[in-house]
Structure 1
Amino acid sequence: MEEVKQQLAELENSPAPTKAEIDELLAQYSDYSDESESSGSGQSDNSSSSSSDDQEMVIMKVLIVGNARCGKTSTIRRFTQDNFNEEYVSTIGADFVEKVIEYDDQLTISLQLWDIAGQDRFAKFTRGYFREAKGAVIVCDITRANTIEAVENWKNEIDMCCKDLNDGTEIPVVMVANKSDLLVNPMDALDLGVNMQKCVAKNNIVEWFRASAKSGEKVPDAFQCLVDRMIEILVLTSVSQFIEFA
């Protein structure tokens, strides 16, 4: 048990634990849990136990935010339906799309993607949707500097709202620099990459992706990165809570 506690402390201080580290800790946690149950009074808590053959379903709410006309809806459409619509339709308030992912042979994830309107006039109506979010994607238009500059404001707002609504918990955020298909100058792409990396480091963003909802470039990678990080946090939180009450 002490070894599990020590490894948990090390992982919590790590900026980005690897999946292998998480899996190893989870395996040790499971072994200890099984030993505790078998050596107990003989009574078991059916609410917290499940068959190893059962596949667990986890629901994760994800916010998709960013300035207007950055391609938030198109990014969601590419990820969930793998297609693209040239017609622009402004999101009013918020929209909701679900995508179910078979994460591994034991875990299925229901991603609830909340498409939040980027217009300022909807701001006070949409912040309530931030409640119970487990992660967020900030979408910017790589060809419009003002939308890139707005990423910091969106990150600050996510942190502020989620801490207020989610018991002070900060959620992981990835950035999608959309419309990479419109970049024609290699030097522009290089300069933008440097600026994006600075933005990520400054604002504690998990990662950024030069992406295109139109072509599909890097869109799945961005969501996979976010899902991996949310799962890492879920596992660390579960193990930490188990140790606390063990």
Structure 2
Amino acid sequence: MAGQDEYDHLYKIILVGDATVGKTHLLSRYIKGTLPKAPTATIGVEFATRTVPLAVGGTVKAQIWDTAGQERYRAITSAHYRRAVGALLVYDVTKAQTFQNCTKWLEDLRNNAEPDIVVMVVGNKVDLVEKDPSLRQVPFEQAQAWAQSKSLMFYESSAVTSFNVKHIFEDLLQEIYTQRTKVKSDRYNDNSTQGGMQLRHNPPQRQAGCCT
């Protein structure tokens, strides 16, 4: 069995989104299996690591960076976008403004992270909606349609109940591997010819993840 320090790939992942949407809770639930005992606002950037066996592609060591959502920390947090190959763009399903602000967060990612960064939109706090459906301000279908229009993955989740927490992190890691492998394959095949014919195989696009 592979040790904690043995891995095939090293991926930097960042969590972005408005303050109080639950980024720190999601990370704590995934890494520790528990919620923060005394939750406080993230100041600047915090990070954790986890070694994850992929369904396909070996083992990934994920460096997961939790960024502050407050405007005053934007200069600090955007500097940590560099070399990030994946991002969870988190909003609160009970606060429409946090979803509307996803547009500016996505723009920040596009401007500061790797050009081929894989982004998953995550609607968090569905546990609140399960208790009281009237609290929902962002319809599932609306968020899913927006994510698809931007070619982003999409899930809803709850750090409180653990709903989809494992999936959002590990499906993102798997998609990063899939996309990066496809790019390498396409580059190789672009340079391969036989009898004047280009040898190229484009596997079908994987559907962005979602839930019901």
The alignment's TM-score, normalised by the length of structure 2, stands at: 0.79
Q: Is the 8 A contact 1:138 1:151 kept in 2?
A: yes
2:23 aligned residue: 72
Within 1, Cα distance between the matches of 2:152 and 2:57?
Answer: 28
2:180 aligned to which of 214, 234, 242: 234
Counterpart CA distance in 1 for 2:135 and 2:142 is: 11
2:150 paired residue number: 203
Partner of 1:57 in structure 2? 8
Amino acid at match of 2:103: E
Report the identity percentage: 24
**Counterpart-to-counterpart distance in 2, 1:95 and 1:233:** 27
Corresponding residue of 2:197? none
Q: Distance in 2 between matches of 1:76 and 1:95?
A: 10
Length-normalised TM-score, structure 1: 0.69
Quote the residue 1:175 is aligned against.
121
Which structure carries more helix by proportion?
Answer: 1
1:129 CA drift (Å): 0.7
Residue 242 (structure 1) shift = 3.1
Tell me by how many angstroms 1:191 deviates: 6.3
SS of 2:31 mapped into structure 1: helix
2:109 maps to which of 138, 144, 158: 158
| Residue pair 1:178, 1:211 contacting (<8 A) in 2 also | yes
Gaps of 5+ in 1: 1-54
The reply to whether residue 222 of structure 1 matches residue 168 of structure 2 is yes
Aligned equivalents of 1:188 and 1:73: distance in 2? Answer: 22
User: Structure 2 stretches of 5 or more lacking a match?
Assistant: 1-5, 193-212
Q: For residue 211 of structure 1, report the CA deviation from its aligned partner.
A: 0.9
How many residue pairs end up in the alignment?
186
Change (3 A) 1:200 1:245: same
Q: Cα offset for 1:156?
A: 1.6
In the alignment, what sits opposite 1:213? 159
Which secondary structure state, in structure 1, belongs to the residue aligned with residue 50 of structure 2? strand
CA RMSD across the alignment:
2.2
What is the letter of the counterpart of residue 172 of structure 1?
V
User: Deviations along 1:140-179, whole A, 9 cap, x unmatched?
Assistant: 11111111111121112111222xxx3xx23111112111
Q: CA deviation at 1:243?
A: 3.3
Work out the CA distance in 2 between the residues paired with 1:224 and 1:105.
11
Shift of 1:201: 2.3
